[in-house]
Chain A
């Protein structure tokens, strides 16, 4: 099982706002920043959010990240069909588990 816990699935209709949660512990999310990756079907992962709430160049501002305590969230507003993908959270982990831990991934379906 993964060190970071994500719901296996999420869904929404076009235009809706959806959030994906990521739960960790004091050694990872509680101490370090969180990063989110988007993996479209059949492709390599792409950095979507880094340092908890920063968007790389080219990522629409519909995507946003936040963190509170040992949990983090990815929010997608104005959901579009092309957002249908797997989403992974990840963090540096200061414990013996680490140093890098991923969530199990959330499959987002746009209905």
Chain B
């Protein structure tokens, strides 16, 4: 059974304080690892897809990396507008569904 665990559950940062969010996964045949941002009361917003170990993607202050067991979302010099819940999900080769982690709630204080 696919499993996705995100840590920490919540993270408080000062503006400009860089950090990383972790997504550990167990999946039989990874077809993709997906990162989303979700604001309160809204649907998740797609950020990145990573397909193979060693792959990296960047967007503004965010950088996602992937190994065979985990993915990291690095946030460089975060701003208050980066405050949101970040969700990680994996898809496996044999099915159509995505398995989501519980998310990391990021709060960036000015």
* Same assembly: no
Residues of chain B at the chain A interface (Cβ within 8 Å): none
